[in-house]
Structure 1
Amino acid sequence: MIVKKYLVKDIKEALEKIKIELGKDAVILGTRKIKKGGFLGIGAKTFLEVTAAVEENEVKQNNEMKTQQIYQLQEILSKNSQKRSTDELNEIKKMMYELKTMVSMQKSDNEPEWIRDLRKALNFHDVNQEIIEKVIEYIRIKYGKIDFEDENTRFVLSEIFLPFIKTDNPDITGKVMFVGPTGVGKTTTLAKLAAKMSINEHKKVGILTLDTYRIAATEQLKTYATLMDIPMRVAYTPKEAKIELEAMADFEVVFIDTAGRSQKNELQMNEIKAMAEIISPDYKFLVVGMQYRSSDLELISKKFNDVSPTHIILTKMDETSSLGHFLNAGHFINKPIIYITNGQRVPDDIIEASNKELSIILAREVLNYVKSS
C-alpha cells in the first residue's frame, strides 16, 4: 500500500493532487490542521495535512495483450471471490437458521405441527422473533390454524403478513438525501432513481455528491450523470453544499449522495446528522442491504434514527434468499419501504415497493420452504 501526506490549503486542493498522483481508487485516511512559518508562532499560516493511501500495483504491463489477459483473469477471480463470499454468507445464515430453529423447537415441543413448520420457515427468512409470535397469534385468532396443503394458504399468509409491511410511494420532489452504512449500494441506487425520474418521468433532475472521501465513488457517479445527461455538482464542505443546492433551486428533484457511515462509529454518525440538519432535505432515504442479518438491521435502525429517515430502500434482494426484512424493516425503523433493488443494472433493477406484492412474494417463499423441508 502506498501512503502519502499532502500539505494543502483546503480539501479540494488535496483531492486534486491525490487523484493525479494516486489515482481515483485512493482513500483519505485522515486530515488535521497544522501551522507553519512565522516567528515564535507569530504570523504562522494554517495548512491542512491530508493523509491518503492506495493499493500499490505490483505488476505493470505495457503490452496491450497482456493487460487484457490480466483483466480477464481478474474478472474470473472476482467472480470466484464473489461466489466464495456468497457461499460463506449462505453457510453462516444456514448455521444461524439452524440455531434459531433448535431454540424454537425446544420451546415449542408441545405446539401443533403447523406452528413448528411456520416457525422454521420464518426463522429461515430471518424474521424477528417478536414478529413471528405476533403472526402465529394472529393466525390462531382469525383462522385457528392453517393447512399448508390447502391451495388457499398462500393467500391466508399474505393477508397475515400485509399489516406488518409498511410501504409508501409519494410523488418525489425537492431535495432527496441518501444515507446508510458502507457497501449497501447508495450511489448505484441513486443513479437508478435519477435515471428513472429523468428519463421515464421527464423531471428536471440534478445530483449533488458529498462523498468526497471516496474518489472512485465520485467518478462512478460522474460517469452515470454524463451518460444520463444529468447535471452533477460536488460539495466539499457544508457551506459549499448550501451554495450548490441554491444553484440548483429550479430543479424538480436533487439527489444528494453521502459517504457510507458505519453505525458503530459515533463520530461518523454525528457528521452525517450535522450534514442532514444543514441541508434540511425533503426526503431522507435510509439505504440498507437485504443481506444484513436481523440483528444488524436492528442496530442500524437505532443508530440512523438520529438522522430521522423518512423512507427505507432495501437493496441487493438478488444477493439473498432471506426476505424477512420485508417485515423487519418497518418493525425496527418504523418508516415505510419506498424502493427495492434487485440487481446492478441502471436504471432497470429497481422497483417501487408495494405491501400487497411483497406480502404475496413472502407468503409464496414461506410456503415453498415448508413444502420442500
Structure 2
Amino acid sequence: MIVKKYVVTDIKEAFEKIRVELGKDAVILSTRKIKKGGFLGIGAKTYIEVTAATSDKKEQQSEEKGQIYKLQEILSKSKTNNPQNVEEISEIKKMMVELKSMISSQRTNEPQWVESFRKALKKQDIDDEISDKLIEYSKMKYQELDFSNENTRLILSEMFLPFINTSVPDLKGRVLFAGPTGVGKTTTLAKLAAKLKLSEKKRVAVITLDTYRIAAVDQLKTYAMLLDVPIRVAYTPKEAKLEVEALSDYDVILIDTAGRSQKNDLHMSEIKAMSEIVSPDFTFLVIGMQYRSEDVKEVLTKFSMISPTHVILSKMDETSALGHFVNVPNFLKAPIAFITNGQRVPDDILEANNRELAVLLSREVLKYAKSS
C-alpha cells in the first residue's frame, strides 16, 4: 500500500493532487487542519493536511497470484488423495472464503458508513459519478456521517443542493412539449394551460401535433373546451407554421407533440423538423421519473438535438427513487421547471424548488442509509 500526505489550502487542490499522483482508486484516510508560518503563532496560515492511500498494484497482483497458487496446490492434493477427505475440503472452502474476502476488501476498502451511504444513493438511482463526488466530499468535510442522527438530513440536503438546478420561467410565446412515449406530455400540458389561464390570467391557445393518437387529440379538445381556450390540430410542419402564425395574438401557445422513442432515428428527425418549423421560445422535455438512470441518459442525449430549455419530471407518484432530481440537470445542463405527481388537472403539478427537492431526496437517502 502507498500512503502519502498532502498539505493544501483547500479540498479541491487535494482532490487534484491525489487523483494525479495516486489515481482514481485512492482513498482518504484522514484530514486535519494545521497552521504553518508566522512568528510564535502570530500570522500563521491555516492549511489542510490530507492523508491518502492506494494499493500497490504489483504487490496486490503478487498476493492474489500467491493465493491462487496455494489454492491450486490444495485442489491438486485433494485429487491425488482420498476425495472424501473432510479436512482437505474444509481447507479449500476456507481458502475460497479468504480469497473472496481479500478481493472484496481490495475493491472497496470502505468504512461501514461509506458503504451504507453508497447503497442509499444507489437505491435512489443517483448516477455513480455524482455518488462518488458526494462520498468524497463527505470524507473531506465531515470524515464520517452518522445516519442515526436526524441532523444528518440537513447535511445531506446541503450536499445535494449544488446538484439540483431549478428554474420556473415566465411563460410567453411558443412553448413546445416533447419527450418519449408514455411520460404524460398531454396531461402535463393541460395542467400548465389551466395554471396559466386560471392563476396567471394569461390568454392561452393550444396546438397539437400528436395526430398519431386519436385519443390524445380528443383528450386535449376536452381540456380546451373546459378551460375555454382555442385548440388547433396540425398534421404537417406547414400546417403547424400556419396555426402558430394564426394564434400569434395569444400570450402563450402550448404545442403538444407525439411521444417519440429515442431509439428510433426517424422519429427523432421528425420531432427535430417540427421544432425547427415552430421555432419555440421555450422547449420542455418531459421525462418520467420511473425511468432508470441509464434510460434517462439515452433520452437526454437523443432529445438534446431540439435544445430543451427546461425539464419537467413527471409521475413522481409512481416511484420511490428521487435521484433524477440531481441526475437530469447534470446530464442535460438544463434546469427542472415543474414536477408532476398525479393525474388530476390542474392540481398535480408543482413548481420546482431546489431546496424543497433537496429536502425530499435527503429524507429518502437517510431513511435507507439508517436501515442498511
Asked if these proteins are the same fold (TM beyond 0.5), I'd say yes
Matching residue of 1:27: none
Matches within 5 A, 1:1-373: 107-108=107-108, 110-373=109-372
Q: Contact conserved, 1:104 with 1:119, CA < 8 A, in 2?
A: no
Question: Which sits farther off after the overlay, 181-190 or 230-239?
Answer: 230-239
Give the Å deviation of 1:145: 1.9
In structure 2, C-alpha distance between the alignment counterparts of 1:350 and 1:142, rounded to whole Å: 36
CA RMSD of aligned residues (A): 1.4
Q: Structure 1 stretches of 5 or more lacking a match?
A: 1-102
Matching residue's letter, 2:130: I
Give the Å deviation of 1:239: 1.1
In structure 2, C-alpha distance between the alignment counterparts of 1:330 and 1:265, rounded to whole Å: 24
In structure 1, C-alpha distance between the alignment counterparts of 2:354 and 2:173, rounded to whole Å: 25
Matching residue of 1:4: none
CA deviation string 1:2-40 (max 9, x = no partner): xxxxxxxxxxxxxxxxxxxxxxxxxxxxxxxxxxxxxxx
**Bigger CA radius of gyration:** 2
Change over 3 Å in CA distance of 1:146–1:248 after alignment to 2: same
Matching residue's letter, 1:341: T
TM-score w.r.t. the length of structure 1 is 0.71
In structure 1, C-alpha distance between the alignment counterparts of 2:172 and 2:344, rounded to whole Å: 24
In structure 1, C-alpha distance between the alignment counterparts of 2:185 and 2:321, rounded to whole Å: 21
TM-score w.r.t. the length of structure 2 is 0.71
Q: Contact conserved, 1:208 with 1:255, CA < 8 A, in 2?
A: yes
Structure 2 counterpart SS, 1:233: strand
Structure 2 counterpart SS, 1:139: helix
Matching residue's letter, 2:107: K
In structure 1, C-alpha distance between the alignment counterparts of 2:152 and 2:170, rounded to whole Å: 35
Give the Å deviation of 1:105: 8.7
Give the Å deviation of 1:189: 0.2
Give the Å deviation of 1:104: 9.6
In structure 2, C-alpha distance between the alignment counterparts of 1:326 and 1:237, rounded to whole Å: 35
Give the Å deviation of 1:178: 0.3
Structure 2 counterpart SS, 1:314: strand
Give the Å deviation of 1:362: 0.3
Q: Percent identity, aligned pairs only? A: 63
Q: Contact conserved, 1:210 with 1:257, CA < 8 A, in 2?
A: yes
Change over 3 Å in CA distance of 1:105–1:171 after alignment to 2: farther
Q: Contact conserved, 1:105 with 1:116, CA < 8 A, in 2?
A: no
In structure 1, C-alpha distance between the alignment counterparts of 2:198 and 2:354, rounded to whole Å: 26
In structure 2, C-alpha distance between the alignment counterparts of 1:220 and 1:226, rounded to whole Å: 10
Give the Å deviation of 1:227: 0.9
